Amino acid sequence: MPLIFYALVAWLPQIMQASGHPRGEAGLMMSVMRAIGIPLGSSSPSPPPVFAAGGSS
């Protein structure tokens, strides 16, 4: 998951500019993505804890 986030944050503006979008539009898209992602990320449930294999001793 962190790799996907990094790819979007680092490369999306360059990809948009290379496909002909203006620089301001690429920045606006990043702002919208971050504005939507922050509330969704904080409202999503956390993963369950991982327990070591082996059972009780």
Give dist(CA 24, CA 47) in Å, integer: 36
Residue 15, amino acid: I
- HSE (CB half, 13 Å, CA atoms) of 40? 6
Q: Where would I find the H helices in the chain?
A: 2-18, 23-43
pLDDT over threshold 90, residue 22: yes
| Predicted local distance difference test score (pLDDT) of residue 25 | 93
Quick one: pLDDT at residue 55?
A: 53
pLDDT tops 80 at residue 48: no
Q: What is the pTM of this model?
A: 0.58
* Structure confidence by residue, pLDDT tens digits, 31-46: 888 888 888 778 877 7
